[in-house]
Chain A
């Protein structure tokens, strides 16, 4: 069934499809349509979930943790400041290995106040132990959400599905709505393996020694490494049922491309068109879309970029003092590849500025003109 939906509403319907049992949320633009739609769905009875209308994002995540500890499937959504406020709890949720799924709507983070698409909010949380999956469009937002529960509940790590302010959250697109029974088949109920249990009383989260702490970090890192395989499997099985799949990274026209654009989220959609356009003009251009950011699929990216002679990474974010974050990660992934192609870092779309096809073409032209980037990062508009 096809529906015309905003990205936020697509997410809300995804929450309904996966039969979330407890939702805790706090309003923030541009997440509010998710919160409101879920309120409608729960009050109407379409979704049999409990909605906790908490007084802060910190409490939203805390309440999700509590409900998850009871063995319930939980959901929350936030953006920007809200995500920043959750920061401490993100560490807790991951450290306690709670399979919470959250949608973060990328929004520029204050100060000054701003409301538009910028990934710095979610990327700032990259070290908290959360799996991060970036969505290109409304359909992928919905599909990523469903897949996220499969991943979270298998590896017992929380998953953040990232969509973008307004470009996805408030933009209406046709969305193929998966069949609920097929979703049930794809996603069995959560078993709640490590829940609190009065018949098996245990204390969770006690104080640890340095050695013990290191062991738990080791286990998290080890399990994070397995996430790549789990995401791929979840995506593959999703595709078998629903005929859509995305991979950890998407390679588009890369096999013979000399210049490869690397990006994520909505920019990837624009870039795909630009690649087609430039290929028509005879330029050897390809695209790598990074979907899974944490854990970072370094091996897949090295493979995708192995034939490129020039690489451009387009970041809708900025790590102040070190440029685009995707760019840093790509560079790090290539660091031990002897004689790898030069990597051009472009800060494009920071603060939600429009990344137009023309801008992307300028980026390609810049690469054509330069054998090496003059700067570590280049602001473009």
Chain B
């Protein structure tokens, strides 16, 4: 029996503390482990170029426009172009859509891109590589590929068939949508990364295939060479012109208008642009006839609405059956109503015609804008092609080793941003292949599940993020956001528009950008709001100098997950603790 066994380390007569609770590692109770894991915003997933707008808009909302622009250019060197002409699938995906209205992402992108390239990313000399890569074609795919390759340190030679860079961006998009200055600014920025250019080098003519043999890799992006035909009689009559030729002539100020009535056949952006250009060229009656219904038309809806404001007439669900001429020049086109049922393997539409529904529309100028096709005959046999273009895998690799292709020359979807994405992916694949690795190894830089890639993640190496996870609307803690109307930019009045080719969309000013930028949920991107730190009942979260900005002390984190719940934008998530 122990009569007295007292161990007091403290002489105080009553229970007066002399130690802290830090000795209790209450983290042992934890069943859920919170982790900081930045994720992809749905806009980024939806953007084929994978632009990180959630991060860019955080900078923008704080007035750091140059930083914001740089973040965009890390994924897309043609932001000023996309900010004008992209159909912005990002806005369709925006989580804010379910709260009040999606962010005006496209307008933000345009505003930020227009802030200039002052902070163009330098390519360090250490990163310079000896390998030379050829890029054929200077449209969006070629420019994109050249830019990303150059940033990866390659010596890039960019071949262009004409005297000016830009491809379809210069010739195919009217200036009231994409002013020359905006395009030139982007091209200058891309060239400043160290891209060599060779103009007037058309593949199969001035540029022979053999000349490309000296390059470690080749990226083919010559775009479309020819327009699809209507396959009607009199299609070669005077006054008939393809949409792409018409736009090129207008852009090069070579078009000579004749007559009063212009008719455009087609439902895509080229058709709408052609119609609007015709209005600006002085045609008093301009009609677009589209096979598709209004909802099915591939043209950007906003542009269609603008065109109608300007006086253009739109007829949907009809197909041309006859071009009538007088003295070898077009006079009118006869149509029959019907329903589009699909496209043939060669891209030709199939129509179920409604008998007896014919009508005629006068046409002093007939613009055919029913699609274009690449010229594939100049390619060596080893580069396999399909009916609509070069066959490539998802990284742009053709059937010939070392040769990649992107943009309209492939069977890809024909938007500018898709072309940009194809150039970027090919650049990434070229880099990995020249480094002796397979393209599949770069799958961890994928953004979401729709094929977008993060170039920033690729060059910055491992970052504690999981861009394969996309933040949903349910993930957003709405308590930290208030409803606010979406800002939309002013547009020039329709009369004023028709007087020139000045840009219709007047864009955002700095105040608009600050205000609209602040609406962004910044899905999946930590804005250092401190909520996680503030609402931790266990003081287990502290700020640190890391990329994430915070650190969790798992000695004390009990796993209540308040940090995850109170994270407004689902940066903090929890995982089951392994026993």
- For the complex formed, measure the closest distance between the CB of B407 and the CB atoms of chain A, giving whole angstroms: 70
Chain A residue contacts of B16, Cβ below 8 A? 194, 202-204
Q: Are B14 and A96 closer than 8 Å at their CB atoms?
A: yes
Q: Which of B4-12, B35-43, B129-137, B431-439 contacts A (4 or more CB under 8 A)?
A: B4-12
Chain A residue contacts of B17, Cβ below 8 A? 202-204, 206
Asked, given contacts A218-B4, A218-B6, whether A205 binds B15 with beta carbons under 8 Å apart, the answer is yes
Q: Does B461 contact A (CB under 8 A)?
A: no
Find A208's partner among B6, B8, B15 (CB 8 Å cutoff): B15
**Cα distance, A96 to B6, chains bound together (Å):** 19
Chain B residue contacts of A97, Cβ below 8 A? 13-14
Q: Are A206 and B15 closer than 8 Å at their CB atoms?
A: yes
Q: Are A194 and B15 closer than 8 Å at their CB atoms?
A: no
Q: Does B18 contact A (CB under 8 A)?
A: yes
**Cα distance, A218 to B13, chains bound together (Å):** 10
**Cα distance, A173 to B281, chains bound together (Å):** 125
Contact with B along A185-208 (1 / 0, CB 8 A): 000000000100000001111101
Chain B residue contacts of A96, Cβ below 8 A? 14
- For the complex formed, measure the closest distance between the CB of B515 and the CB atoms of chain A, giving whole angstroms: 47
Q: Does A95 contact B (CB under 8 A)?
A: yes
With CB as the reference atom, state the residue of chain B lying closest to A203. Answer: B17
Q: Does A156 contact B (CB under 8 A)?
A: yes
Q: Does A225 contact B (CB under 8 A)?
A: no
**Cα distance, A289 to B7, chains bound together (Å):** 40
**Cα distance, A121 to B336, chains bound together (Å):** 113
Q: Does A276 contact B (CB under 8 A)?
A: no
Task: Give the size of the chain B interface in residues (CB under 8 angstroms).
Answer: 11
**Cα distance, A203 to B13, chains bound together (Å):** 14
Chain B residue contacts of A223, Cβ below 8 A? 13
Q: Does A179 contact B (CB under 8 A)?
A: no
Q: Does A277 contact B (CB under 8 A)?
A: no
- For the complex formed, measure the closest distance between the CB of B392 and the CB atoms of chain A, giving whole angstroms: 70
**Cα distance, A292 to B185, chains bound together (Å):** 100
Interface residues of A in 202-221 (CB under 8 A from B): 202-206, 208, 212, 215-216, 218-220
**Cα distance, A95 to B16, chains bound together (Å):** 11
Q: Are B8 and A194 closer than 8 Å at their CB atoms?
A: no
Contact with A along B149-164 (1 / 0, CB 8 A): 0000000000000000
Q: Are B6 and A216 closer than 8 Å at their CB atoms?
A: no
**Cα distance, A218 to B4, chains bound together (Å):** 9
Find A202's partner among B7, B8, B18 (CB 8 Å cutoff): B18
Looking at B6, B12, B13, B18, the one whose CB has the most chain A CB atoms below 10 A away is B13
Chain B residue contacts of A202, Cβ below 8 A? 16-18
Q: Are A156 and B8 closer than 8 Å at their CB atoms?
A: no
Find A194's partner among B6, B7, B13, B18 (CB 8 Å cutoff): B13
Contact with B along A136-171 (1 / 0, CB 8 A): 000000000000000000001000000000000000
Q: Are A194 and B4 closer than 8 Å at their CB atoms?
A: no
- For the complex formed, measure the closest distance between the CB of A102 and the CB atoms of chain B, giving whole angstroms: 19
**Cα distance, A219 to B13, chains bound together (Å):** 7
Q: Are B8 and A205 closer than 8 Å at their CB atoms?
A: no
Chain B residue contacts of A208, Cβ below 8 A? 15
**Cα distance, A216 to B12, chains bound together (Å):** 9
- For the complex formed, measure the closest distance between the CB of B14 and the CB atoms of chain A, giving whole angstroms: 4
**Cα distance, A95 to B18, chains bound together (Å):** 18
Q: Contacts A194-B16, A204-B15, A204-B16 given; 8 further ones with Cβ under 8 A? A: A97-B14, A202-B16, A203-B17, A204-B14, A215-B6, A218-B4, A218-B6, A219-B13
14 contacts between A and B (CB under 8 A): A97-B13, A202-B17, A203-B17, A204-B14, A204-B15, A204-B16, A205-B14, A206-B15, A206-B17, A212-B15, A216-B15, A218-B4, A218-B6, A220-B13
10 tightest A-B CB contacts, nearest first:
A203-B17, A97-B13, A97-B14, A202-B17, A96-B14, A202-B16, A204-B16, A206-B15, A215-B6, A219-B13
